[in-house]
Structure 1
Amino acid sequence: MADSQEQPERQTGGGAQPTERRRGWNVLVQHVTEHKIETGLWATRLLTISFTLGYFIPLFGNPYNLYYKVLMSNAATSALRLHQRSPTLQLSREFFGLLFLEDSCHYLIYSLLFLTLSPATIIVMPVALYALLHFASYSLTLLDCLGLDAWWGARFLISIVDFQTRNILRLIAFSEILVMPMLLLMIFSGRASVFSPFLYYRFLSLRYASRRNPHTRTMFHELRMRFEAMVLEPRCPEFVRNMVLRTIAFISNLAPVIPPPS
């Protein structure tokens, strides 16, 4: 998950040993200077994680305000990442078409959408988990610059996150899907507008068609297989079977067409 590090330089000549890589605070400062955007992304993700912890464990500050700070810090991360991926703005249809293919654009839309709605815990889950994954990855890079090998505790926690990357991505995908029925319930309680599900459907369609992250698409497929297996059991009532199969068919018709890989 972490970025690959440069191999240590090797001396020429027979029997030469590899030189030690320079480490320390000066190396860290140089790295930060040369990688301002990456370091900025690391900092905004740290803010997202901190605000999320404050929201779930409200020891300091108002949880209501911290909830919206989670979304605002994620919007800042997404905008910065989008600038990194598409630095040159072009007022053309092709440019905006490519822009909407970027995962960072998807989550910028996500954050802006839910900044206008009432708080719901599940909404911050994908945001916080993505921040945790990328924060852990870049933290290893910064620790390598410092050479703090003795910080085994931090490295151990990061390795746990790294080991659980696939499960975390699956949980993110499941959360993205689960937000849609939650939005429908929020409409009846007056916490969301009738337009919210349509806007979120656009986000979910973008996630489904994502080129770099197939986990949402895979999770839809797994949920479909599981529900079909459940309702096709002989003991399942027929009216339940018909209702579930019709719902699956309706959702499948809403899925965007995935272009073949070029």
Structure 2
Amino acid sequence: MVDEHPARAHPLAFAALLVGNAALAFGPWLVRLSDVGASAAGFWRLALAIPFLLVIARVAGQPLRWPARALAIAIAVAAVFFAADLAAWHAGIALTKLGNATLFGNISSFAFAAWGLWLVRRWPTRLQAAALLLAATGVALLMIGSAELSARNLHGDLLALLAGLLYTGYLIGIERVRGTLQPLPVLILASLFGAAALLPFALAMGEQVIPGQWTPVLILALSSQVVGQGLLVYALGVVPPLIVGLALLTQPAISALIGWLAYGETLTSLDAIGAASIALALVLVRLRPAAPATT
């Protein structure tokens, strides 16, 4: 019988998933701190991460080797989705609140979870349905609490929503190739293809490309790409999409806290309840259904 909870066979996979999402949640703040354009910030996030990833891959015994043509094309397509996601999301971050940007950007949580259920061709179990309902409740509470839905934020919110849909395409593409390739070579190639797509776009848009201050973009590369995406891509190979999708929802809660601490953005008791609902959803979705009684 195939284990429907492969994360149990990899005890650190779920922890890696949560740590990766925590690292990714700092991305919007670092993008705001950078002094380059939206697409340029995405380019540096990917480009600066590549040397570090190459060294880590060598030490970890996962050296980069060019994959078969079909796999290389699949990674390139996923990377284009990721590049477009970063361009849209980084542009949206400057036009709305951190909580809004991360919340709408993580519409991919439910889309990727739905992909996972479609993949196994079945409806969610009672526990999974309860987890999804709790997660949706948590998101709604975060929207009521920290997100500020207004005409002032509309443009940024729509860009973040578009980014979330594009990110779903990236996650699906990477999840497909992770069944064949190790995580670090996949991430290195995705970063390489994504950077190659973002640089000409940033130049064409007339953005400032060379940073005046390198610290924010370097930390962005290390935290979001090396740590965040590195752990996420690893988890995509061993954790079911439903759990990955719900785990992505930890990012809005952390970003709302960062927005409150760094910019004084609204943080209410509803945010705490919403975050607790998402945490409980993650507990529920990892529980095994009770075995039927036998006589």
Q: Shorter-chain TM-score: which interval?
A: 0.3 to 0.5
Greater percentage in helix? 2
| Greater relative contact order (CA < 8 Å, ≥ 6 in sequence) | 2
